[in-house]
Structure 1
Amino acid sequence: MPDLRITDLRVGEAMTQEFGLVDHNTPVETVIDLILKNHWGEVIVVDDEKKFMCLVTRETLVRTITNGLPKDVPIRTLCSQDTITTTEDENLTRARDIMRRRKIGRLPVINDNGEVVGLLTARDVCNGFSFKLEMLGEHMYAVLENIAEAIQVIDCDGRVSFWNSGAEKMFGITAKEIIGRKLADYFPDDLLLKVISNMQSYQNVLTELDNGVYIIRNAVPVVFSNGEILGAACTSLDVTPIRKLIDNLEKAQTRVRKLERIIGTQDLLGGELFYTVNPETRRVLQQAKRVAATDATVLIQGESGTGKEIMAQVIYNHSKRAKKPYIEINCSAIPETLFESEMFGYESGSFTGAHRAGKAGKFELADGGTLFLDEIGELPMDMQAKLLRVLQEKRFYRVGGTSPITSDVRIIAATNRNMAELVEQKLFRSDLYYRLSVVVLEIPPLRERKDDIPGLTRLFLRKLGMEYGRQIKGIDSEVMRMLQDYHWPGNVRQLQNLLESVVILMDDDYVTPLSLEEAGVMDVLRETEKTKFSHSRHKEEKTIQLDDLVHHHEREAIIKALQQTNYNKAKAAHILGIPRSTLYYKMKALNIDGKPTRTHFGVPLA
């Protein structure tokens, strides 16, 4: 693509290479004949080496002849010493300014050797700029027509002066139909008309068109450098795919939270949403219930998967706002361009094709109730400032609105980040942090509350059994030991997901080590054992003899049962009091017919 910067236009691009050229010894009379014959307005005089000497105009010749100059004198007689020249590389704007300042209509163009290569006239300057502007216009039109955004431009009277193909597709109106007409005839409350009316810019305005398309609009006044107002321009970008992703994410998160809440249904937990028997976690739970009775802002901290969303639900359920709206929003899932519209809504008729009723934001929807801001630590700094202003002033404006809206909202925020460190690193505003952290609840990770694992495991197995139509009768004590030994980096959510895999993929109705093998999760749980034993070698040496002894007696008991039943696996398992799948596993582990295991009696779910 050629250089379209008009200020970089060079003399060589605009000059003419057709000009009158005469030797300095040519008589004036001959020069006059050449000018008349060729219709020249001037001649360029060169010396014997063809180097530039001067430029003589037709007007100069007429004036000197009238004053009595003999016609037989050489043309060099008329040469002056102050003739101005330029070069091919000279900036055309600068050459034009020289011609204006010196009040001359032409400039000889010479090269480094002093030879004449062209002539720049006032007409050449105009044509050069005109051609460049025409080329610039063509290229810019092509760019604007092929750009993804819809682009609309109106003049000061509100008439459409530009409407690209993107606008045709987005709004269903052709450029031929709308250009030159009043925009208000088609969209009476369009954002562009507001720009012309109040000379204000609008940025990142979200709207939903009647056909379900979501767009982001940016509209600005178009003003010359001298302050003259030309009109207004607007770009509109289709963000429907992003919006659908957000909607799908919100639906998925809602489903996840509903499943998590099933963990603590009243039938299973006697009215508790958040299950725990761990003393420290119960202390946090009691604090949550106490603060629920107030309207204090609460910040819930904890690693991913510890149950921060459920703790927020506990606070809501025990609050005086329990019958009012509970609105959840994931701060990390909202693009910056959609933040204001999502949080504060947009005014009616703010944009082309918008629903006339406008749309309420999260703060408006949560009025009188609770707004749960999940992953608050991921909020960008400029969004933090907007959120802080609403929390301080307790009022906000819809996008495109002029009237403040007050909203009585209780804020609960949650994060898996270290907020104090974020503040120290200048990644989170300290004033917003202090406003959010009136009460801070820290949920311990599952590895620090392993006494909760048996109860959570039974709870999950019962719930998952109902969900997938499986009747889980119990869990082997060896499996329970492995679950309690594991470090659970993904916390309660990881425990639930692991058990879900087991319930779906296990063959039997009793969870055994073989069930873990069948679900492909045994290696995950064994990682902890390998790490633990590598750091506890002395303890391992002490217990190895006891383990061998247990294995020996288990092996003998299984072989004896098999012999008594003539190797009938079902009858042998019945004698041993274990499920058949456990028997198979222990036979494999103890190298009985190539299938080891240990015999452990089951742990009932009830």
Structure 2
Amino acid sequence: MPDMRITDIKVGEAMSREFGSVSRDTTLEEVINSMLANQWEEVVVVDQRHELVGLATREHLVRALSEGVPQNRPIAEICRREVITTSCYEELAKARDVMRWHKIGRLPVLDDEGGIVGLLTARDVCNGFSGKLEMLGRHMYAVMENITEAIQVVDCNGVVSFWNDAAEKLFGIKAEDIVGRKLAHFFPNDIILKVIVTGEPIRNVLCQVREGVLAIRNAVPVVTPDGETIGAVCTTQDVSTTKSLLEKLDQATSRVRRLEHRVKRSEEEIYEPFYTVNEVTKRILQQAKRVATTDATVLIQGESGTGKELLAHVIYRNSKRRHRPFVEVNCSAIPESLFESEMFGYDPGAFTGGKREGKPGKFELAHGGTLFLDEVGELPLEMQAKLLRVIQERRFYRVGGTTPIEVDVRLIAATNRDLHQLVAQNRFREDLFYRLNVVTFEIPPLHARKEDIPGLVDRFVKELGCLYERQVRGIARDALEVFLNYDWPGNVRQLHNVLESIIILMEDDYITLKSLAEAGVLETLTAGTKTRSPGIPKNVADLKDEGLDDVMVRTEKEIIVKALEDCHYNKTRAAELLGIPRSTLYYKLRSLGIAGITD
């Protein structure tokens, strides 16, 4: 786009490149004949090198003839020798001012070496400025017509002088109907009329320009360098769509905030090991969150499927390392021959088949974060020794590497094995066990907290229904009773898998016994239902000489012994499992005469 400032026109843009030129030896007669033949007003006199000698105008020639100068005289003796010149790089406005000051009608234009390249006349100056003004007018008109904002221009009397296409569309008035007429006839209280009166701009006015159309308007006066207000310009921007979008944005923002709140609550729920109302498990979660704020090593024990990995995530998400990596290693899945390369990585060229650029190991990937060693009880002794060395020294070497790598990780280990028993059997290193066993959590199996089953079922039904795009309204009472009576040896994972199978295969939108049968799980769940306690006879007639009180005492004794066995004879845990105070358990141990456990 060309320069929009009129003062930036250069002499070279306006000068005449075709002009009369004669040599210094040309006679007066020859010059007169050339000027008449070519209708020149002036001629430039040059020497052999085409350098300026002087300038001769018709006025000079007439004066010479009237003074009786012989026509065979060289023009160099007659022309004006003191000539004011200019450069083609000079601003046209400055050249014009020189011509006005010296009251001359033309200026020879010289190049950098003094050679004449053009002639600037008064006509050239006028044409240069008028051409620039015309071009600027065209460009300005095109800009104002194509701009998205409505533009209105009025003179000092309030008569509209410009009304662009956007103004036509916004106000619903054609330019041909309003240009040349007073704006007050159409808009008596328009802000642009106030600007003409006050000479002060009015900015950012929100108004309704017509039914259903909101706009922001800005009006400023047009002021000459002398301070005279000669008109005003107003821009009007339709913000109806913007306002609608802002309202939608506000609605979306509110919705996002609600969703963020729901997601946050969901994340908190998801990253709990499992839904629980069981007091023992709730206490484990509370303790895990407290331990999470430290860098203490944690050992998580429990049967398969109880949620050891999810408890590890609870610890991670509540720790100061929650924004750093969480790297999980399934120790039972790593072949002994690949243990070092998987855990510690390898340098380029360390062994055939490896990546050319080498590969970082699990410890490197977890640097600054948390390393979760799942199924740590499955590690062979040799790998246990290598793991222990890194835990103790907090540094290691890559396979094939010679530079030690410092590592900072928080360790969480998990196992479904009894590490005490493995240590006693010399199948797990005692020193590694004590390194891992700083803080220990043992997650109860699902059969020890059956009060959680209804809530878990409800959660999994919603989750799986969403996953498989199935509308599941809930579960029938008799179907839930089957779930409650089953011992769930696979724990929460088994419960989840059973429900997944049911939801995939069910035909109705409500889980019933029929749904369990369709999924092929009803027989398994009912066959695995906990058998009746041997102390409880099937029929009242079977009581024979034994009274009801004796049956209840024997049954209570069997339940307490079973609870103690499940808790490895930890009386505090057994009391929690039974839902009674520890003092009550001690009383019942004594009163029921449960031998060998009362002290």
With normalisation by structure 1, the TM-score equals: 0.49
Larger Rg: 2
With normalisation by structure 2, the TM-score equals: 0.49
